[in-house]
Amino acid sequence: MPLTQERKQELITQYQVHGTDTGSADVQIAMMTDRINRLSAHLKGNQNDHSSRRGLLQMIGKRKRLLAYLQQESQDHYQALISRLGIRG
């Protein structure tokens, strides 16, 4: 379930750190969160899709590592991002 080009550009402009930013941790986490949400909705209707479930778990792990990196770099920036994305409780 890849992101469409329009949705990807929308996420980049919404979460970019500076004007030419396309790959910062913020942008990567936002794109992964969007894909995770879409894939979770897919798996609710297709419970036996084990390969997609495995991909979902891999994406969650990668997002978790990126969030740990961001938390290590700047606690305030980390808190702001997770509140904007609505993750982690």
63 close to 31: Cβ distance less than 8 angstroms: no
- pLDDT tens by residue, the chain, 89 residues: 678 999 999 999 999 988 898 889 999 999 999 999 999 999 999 999 999 999 999 999 999 999 999 999 999 999 999 999 999 74
Tell me, what's the pLDDT at 24?
A: 93
| 3-state secondary structure string across 18-79 | CCCCCCCHHHHHHHHHHHHHHHHHHHHHCCCCHHHHHHHHHHHHHHHHHHHHHHHHCHHHHH
The domains of the chain, with CATH numbers, are 5-85 (1.10.287.10)
